[in-house]
Amino acid sequence: MSDRKQFITVMVVAALFVSWIGWRGFEVISLNDQLMADKTVASYPYQHRVLRVEGGTAVISSLRSHSVSTQQALSAVFPSMRHLADTHRDWQRAERELAQVQARAGDIILATSGVNRVRWELDENWYHLQSMKSRYNTAF
């Protein structure tokens, strides 16, 4: 094969790859726009967002995981609740609200064509940023 044909082949493959990456980014942006268009999801203090799409699975950020309890997550979102007893009704109300918002975010994404499954992933970056904010605010 001549140098010119090899060059054209490499450029076509590169263009297809860049297009595929661009499409995946557009898909994530579009899904996140849908989440922000919903008043319930958009008004919640923690912003659930699609991190990536893997085949038909949308990976969505979450405050909860096996290693982070709901109460730990809610303490990060609502620091004023930290002093309340574990049995206080505000905890129960906050737990219900978080569960409802997260379920609604999942339903919005599942209603999108091409997405048939949602997987939740702990938003470690959010916790890291919250920790940095806390340290910054106490330093001044």
- Is pLDDT above 90 for 108? yes
Per-residue pLDDT tens over the stretch 53-62: 998 999 999 9
CA–CA gap between residue 92 and residue 112 (Å, rounded) = 31
Cβ proximity of 81 and 45 under 8 Å:
no
Give residue-wise pLDDT tens across range 4-22.
Answer: 788 777 777 777 766 665 5
The pTM is what?
Answer: 0.75
